[in-house]
Amino acid sequence: MIPTHIEHIGIAVKDLATAIPYYEDVLGLKCYKIEEVADQKVRTAFFQVGQTKIELLEATAPDSPVAKFIEKKGEGIHHLAFAVQGIDEKLQEVAEKGIQLIDQKARKGAEGLDIAFLHPKSTFGVLTEFCEKRI
């Protein structure tokens, strides 16, 4: 099962309110939605660029994965998300190839997507996400 496209690029920022004007006023994109994902302890802001989105991520708690990431590495690209069809089968397929899964099964993410992450330690340092539009 081959990913169909890059669904989004996740970018960790300290503060959405100060980062959004760069994407809007400098790059000319439009923030079309701000959504909190309580489960992940993040607030997200979305911009569409062709078939791909930019997802800004702001931590909502000190133990959020995004807060830990910024503390260690600073603001910047946090993850790369591929659109796939048959997400649970895809997870099983990559696990059989020795990739470490963070999520054994897909769960609910922002934008009405089922999502699952692969561990960056087994994907050459890139936190990798699979996404599938929930039916």
Interface with ligand CMX (CB under 6 A): 10, 37, 40, 42, 44, 55, 57, 65-66, 68-69, 72, 78-79, 102, 109-110, 117, 119-120, 125, 127
Q: Are 45 and 34 in contact (CB under 8 A)?
A: yes
**Smallest separation, CB 106 to ligand CMX (Å):** 13
Closer CB to ligand CMX, residue 40 or residue 135?
40
Q: Which residues pair with 58 in a beta bridge?
A: 43
Closer CB to ligand CMX, residue 12 or residue 26?
12
**Smallest separation, CB 71 to ligand CMX (Å):** 8
DSSP state of 101: B
**Smallest separation, CB 37 to ligand CMX (Å):** 5
**Smallest separation, CB 103 to ligand CMX (Å):** 8
Token pair, residue 17, equals: 């309110």
Closest CA to 14 of 62, 46, 52: 62
Q: Which residues pair with 20 in a beta bridge?
A: none
Closer CB to ligand CMX, residue 19 or residue 25?
19
Report in angstroms the alpha-carbon separations of 59 from 19, 22, 38, 44, 103: 13, 19, 10, 9, 20
Closer CB to ligand CMX, residue 25 or residue 41?
41
Token pair, residue 83, equals: 């659109």
Q: Which residue is nearest to ligand CMX (CB)?
A: 65
